[in-house]
Structure 1
């Protein structure tokens, strides 16, 4: 065993009759890490059934690497330097892994926010996200490619479905890649004991946020919270696109991937954010379908009418175009979704116009 002036130790073990040496040092491998505990070696004597614990001298543990004598090896200093030097990026990655495993909720949230900001600021990341959006963000059917969808501007649906959930499948409205961006909003706020303020969130969401308290299943709670977040983003996007931009929506942050999909589906011109009547109606239909999912397909339209700045009468037509039935119970108007879906005929529309 050799020791240099920097108190670094190197040990070489040479078995008898072998041309292989086993070399270990105290300045790389396990021994290079901070020693936060003491080590001992256990020796089990099977014959007598005894276990003897022997302390390790100076608490030194070496990882021995085999080296064949006579073979040319890399310069030791170069190896040590390569192993000990970590780039700033590598250090940051390692710290991120530790934070994800052992950090507090607050630290994990800070890191996620920081990574999200970096992705938005990185041009290469933006290009990558744009490609992903083109590939998986939505399909032609979701954009209303068929005649029925274009005419009614409604989300993807199954007219023959036997349950309301299958009539307007949620996974075709909120795509697989959207959920991870939604959990950082209401769900995270709820976990940390925060309050959903009325000036930052829609009336529909504020009046239903207490539903989360009644849900025992954590997955269902997470799903409903993310659904509330998606509704919020849709409504804020709708307000941001208006000519008289709504003040409460001005500083609302919509995740980049979701915003790009909104622009493609609900905004004709990404620069001016101008929209056609069809695109406005399509957004309203998406919002109403999500409110039906949130209210177990029996919803009072009063709150969402306020959020959309629409009258109950105007909203009634949109619900009917989705195949909903509207009934009054104790002076309260409710929209429900009977299945299989049936839509109002063109003749009925003409009669109402007269």
Structure 2
């Protein structure tokens, strides 16, 4: 036991004796400024050569001093203060001190920093009152001065504001009606209205024709309102943009026309999971054109589902489509054609230089409509059964009720059914699902299946 203890003790590092440290708390005298600690929430600015410190406040003694720190970078000022919540919001849970330890003497010298807190340095523009509205101070300023301040405010928001703040500012500016841009608005409006009335009389517009035009303007994929079958109502040649016909990778999908080919992890095409399950529908197809059309629809559905799945992650540095394509699992040649159909690019982020693609105003509705149509066309009889419907609802992050409404909007017929398992038994406690079919018997045209357009009654 003794030898074992001795050997183990030799391998262990020698314990260090605790050292006694002398602590000295210093207080600045009336002629000295206390140490100042500050941080910059927008990042350390470049080009600020020096900072000025201003002393103010009432009372006598070092503890009564209030300090304001000012640094200038062009027309932007960085301001911080120890005097209150203007620059350092929130309660103060503790007091900060600056410590210097002398190893030789073993003494730790402490001194309270200015205000007992770390000062927040905010970017500011001279002449602006920093309330929630960021309105310019003073109502007697000239128009030129006001415009200059608004321009400086816009520059400040562009440099340091969030993407949401930039969008809000741009939207507010677009909503401002400027007199100098209107011209003779009254006479212009009268002329336009007169021209519209004349055109309506000349063309013989009726309520039915107006309703037909409104139907044509729905957020639907390319379609033929007179079509009576799924493929005449939504022709795949119109649905899939010509620019990506050659970029959709069909060979791995076409290989499964061989009924003897078994899908494995190695030969599974690079597809969205929902679309990958549809590859089995290729088995046994003898007509090559029919097979190619179905393969295109499967690949196209996969790309659309990837866009929907990654709709909140469409960030790319410098507009690099190859990089974005790899991030969202869509070939860049396909991505650069599909993005403008549903998304719009925001200005580059000032700090990172990244471009964000955001869904357009009706982009989400149009994207889901495309997915609903292609999901129906992929099926041999344009019928989506309840289990497939539940699977698609899961991938789209929509409730069954929401998804069935989206199918109705593209002209599909929907009926509620109980969700059943593989043995055909009803799943206890499961939410009801739906079966969807598109123009099943050819007796009606697509226009007859689309929901009625609601018109507000004249009051």
TM-score normalised by L of structure 2: 0.39
Which structure would you say has the larger Rg? Answer: 2
Higher relative contact order (CA 8 A, sep 6+): 1
The structure that is helix-richer by fraction is: 1
TM-score normalised by L of structure 1: 0.49
